[in-house]
Chains A and B, each alone.
Chain A
């Protein structure tokens, strides 16, 4: 907005709301696209999920341009939206050529175009969060869109985990190492960024985690209602409905702990390091305590229902899962050992510390 003077009754500018929703839709598009590829297999450049993500990223980038034009201060959040928009467009240009030249590879890390897409999407999230955070800092209020964007960031980060995504892999060491990197940075940053004056501000990480869980659960419940069949062969797993995503990680509980730990302000550096480290370790401990048994539950017949979509009954058509569907995988190659626990702990501490810095930055930005 043109003016910096905002009263306590001012609401979040429309451009910020649109940017937040657009970034959320981009992530929804990626989640939809994964299910589409896992079920139908065949998609054109302009399949509905691709179009959604592409259009959403264009809108997000344009919101950034709009804010830059209209604002006297040219906030960094807007620049990040533009940066992210350009990066995503470049990835969208490169990916079709890449797939014809080198063959199609799914997943987010598997090649330069996907890396570019990931960097761009992270920048879009960072931009939306920064814009909203700046507004929050100027007005002293907390917008629900901050937790919404935070929740979609969590969804995006979890989706980056393609290697150890299935519950069958939750008894490996690698799973906890990967999560120790991806999650604490986001939860701690969201928690630290919001002013503590209101309940929404005090528990922003928890709300973000609830948004993440709510969005993924909705897809778990809605996707299977849509009939679909594979249009590519060979079909190793006969699926007849859109593949639901994996049931969300129970992040609300560790997020609660992080919110509690990260509320204090004006701390000494030593205390900051200690608390950040505590955030990481507490996250890991609670996360492990919940997901390890939850994985066993997810593989059991009790999870074979519409609510959980578990029990080893939902797989992409190209998975030759056989009788490994309800077994734990990776127990010999990437087992949970003392070494991996220590690695995960160190990674969690590092991730939380980064989140703490990022959160503090977002909590200080006013423009």
Chain B
């Protein structure tokens, strides 16, 4: 029985698979097949992490692209709204200039009658001419304002460009107000001619 146990023990020691031994706390090296398993596991995990990272990056890129597209669409809508609003200003200014030109034509037609009647209309005509010059200046400035507005809303920094457009428009308004003031003076002068005409009768 004793010999049997000894033989059994020896057989067990010889035939025991070496790979099953665990690493002793004393730091004995891990058997090769376990080491490979662990390395493989680490590699798989790293690969998985990398895939997840790439997927996150891809989603982020898609989200950014969608955001940019939406931003571009919003900017285009804002540009169109600005164009519409400026279109109103532009139409109003053009209509005002046209009105003042027509008033001048009527005044010059009346002035021609006064001139035929022998009235001295030179000074009045000079005032009318200065009003016409102001109207031409306003027309030219409007062309500049339209061009600059379009450049501004499509530029990188519309806020800075818009300040210039705003100044040009305000200047146009002041110019037209000055032209209108001249016409008010002129019609007063023409009424004076009328009074003179009445007195002479």
Query: Do A and B truly interact?
Result: no
Residues of A within 8 A of B (CB): none
